[in-house]
Amino acid sequence: MSAEPPAAHPAPTTSAAPYDALLLLSFGGPEGPDDVVPFLENVTRGRGIPRERLKEVGQHYFLFGGVSPINEQNRELLRALREDFAQYGLDLPVYWGNRNWAPYLTDTLREMVRDGHRRVLTLATSAYASYSGCRQYRENLADALATLADEGLEPPRVDKIRHYFNHPGFVEPMVDATLAALAELPAAARAEAHLAFTTHSIPTYAADTSGPVPVHTEGGEGGAYVAQHRDVARVIVDAVRERTGVEYPWRLVYQSRSGAPHIPWLEPDICDHLEELRGAGVSGAVMVPIGFVSDHMEVKYDLDTEARAKAAELGLPVTRAATVGADPRFAAAVRDLVLERAATERFAAAPTPGSAPPERCALGALGPSHDVCPVGCCPARTPRPAAAGAE
């Protein structure tokens, strides 16, 4: 056998430079009955959510012993990320901080600074563009950095990984989960089944202004939030057709609405949609929660408890697809996104002749999302400082 020819390309680098740490940034949730009310106070501070709604949401948590599944799911994701990074030689420590519960973001960032980190890349557990799913996390980062500065610490530079809703490592586990949930339907219910893709409802004004380019349309159909979810749904429907030979009818629907009743939010609600499907004589439905990264309370209560009860009352067979959670393909996707962004930053700082910015993986029609949110992206109703963006 002849010797290996010299490699045409340099070996792909596993360097995360200029980044020296990854921050997993999440929502946080209560870990026992005594945590529920203070957690809800953290979530809703200044957000004008009616008291009745808060009492109701508190009951959802008490049904599960006051414990949200989200923290344990983030611990699993941390383990999966660390394992993946170690296996592929990516030497990048991973930290975890939350918006609404311990470990709090500010405490984690302080620890990161004390450990000597100066250049932090952030992964938010939210895949899509919207105020709640993106800018609000960037506001939390700005607040935490300001607190550290007040304490006399030198704040690190913080960036955020691009929206990953259409990354194959996020979408492909959902395709498998949709196939598995279809297989769980009784055979007679499967043939004429519908796919109900679900995500968190948000106010229609937030949907219309989501993403970098505000599209002012009536009814919340204009912005990036809805467009991104539709694109993912389309990719899953196509992949399911390739694997089963069936093009299942589908619709993007919403769940977990809060806020005052006179403010319009994205519709239809999953429960109303199930009722409509039953009325139309549909044989069964699969709920596919593409809007969420793990099976946290919005999935366990709003879908597995409330929507399933609705379906049972209607006599409509339904199953629910799992979210990606700590799937190794998602951990690998995060590594890919870290390396992609690191290479982009290095290229921007020192473009060398013949070098090119890295490839950016994305399925669907929309293409890879921007790295840095431009000024005015997913605007807040009351402007506040936000980190990791162009402003």
Ligand X SMILES: CC1=C(CCC(=O)O)c2cc3nc(cc4[nH]c(cc5[nH]c(cc1n2)c(C)c5CCC(=O)O)c(CCC(=O)O)c4C)C(CCC(=O)O)=C3C
- Site residues, ligand X (CB under 6 A): 27, 29, 40, 43-44, 47, 49, 53, 57, 68-70, 125-126, 130, 132-133, 200, 202, 256, 258-259, 291, 296-298
> Are the C-beta atoms of residues 196 and 182 closer than 8 Å to each other?
no
Say what the alpha-carbon torsion angle 125, 269, 49, 164 is, to the nearest 10 degrees. Answer: 20
Residue 292: CB minimum distance to ligand X, A: 6
Q: Consult the annotation and say whether 137 binds a ligand.
A: yes
Tokens of 245: 């030979």
Distance, in Å, from the CA atom of 136 to the CA atom of 140, rounded to the nearest integer, reads: 6
Distance, in Å, from the CA atom of 44 to the CA atom of 30, rounded to the nearest integer, reads: 14
Choice between 106 and 132, CB closer to ligand X: 132
- Beta-bridge mates of residue 225: none
Q: Consult the annotation and say whether 225 binds a ligand.
A: no
Residue 146: CB minimum distance to ligand X, A: 20
Distance, in Å, from the CA atom of 267 to the CA atom of 263, rounded to the nearest integer, reads: 12
Choice between 106 and 294, CB closer to ligand X: 294
Choice between 273 and 296, CB closer to ligand X: 296
Q: Consult the annotation and say whether 298 binds a ligand.
A: yes
Residue 222: CB minimum distance to ligand X, A: 17
Choice between 127 and 343, CB closer to ligand X: 127
Location of structure tokens 């311990």 = 102
Residue 36: CB minimum distance to ligand X, A: 9
> Are the C-beta atoms of residues 100 and 36 closer than 8 Å to each other?
no
Choice between 237 and 297, CB closer to ligand X: 297
Give the count of beta carbons closer than 10 Å to the beta carbon of residue 75: 13
Q: What share of the chain is helix, strand, coil (3-state, %, to 5)?
A: 45, 15, 45
Residue nearest to ligand X (CB): 258
Q: Consult the annotation and say whether 283 binds a ligand.
A: no
Length of the chain in terms of residues written? 391
Residue 130: CB minimum distance to ligand X, A: 5
Cβ-count burial of 251 within 10 angstroms (0-12 exposed, 13-18 middle, 19+ buried)?
middle
278-301 residues labelled b (16+ CB within 10 A) or e (exposed): beeebbbbbbbbbbbbbbbbbbbb
Choice between 18 and 259, CB closer to ligand X: 259
> Are the C-beta atoms of residues 203 and 265 closer than 8 Å to each other?
yes
Residue 252: CB minimum distance to ligand X, A: 14
For 205, the enclosing helix (H) or strand (E) is helix 204-208
Location of structure tokens 């519709």 = 267
Q: Is the dihedral of CA 289, 25, 206, 48 positive or negative?
A: positive
Choice between 132 and 228, CB closer to ligand X: 132
Residue 101: CB minimum distance to ligand X, A: 8
Residue ranges for the known binding site for Fe-coproporphyrin III are 68, 137
Residue ranges for the known binding site for Fe(2+) are 200, 298
Residue ranges for the known binding site are 68, 137, 200, 298
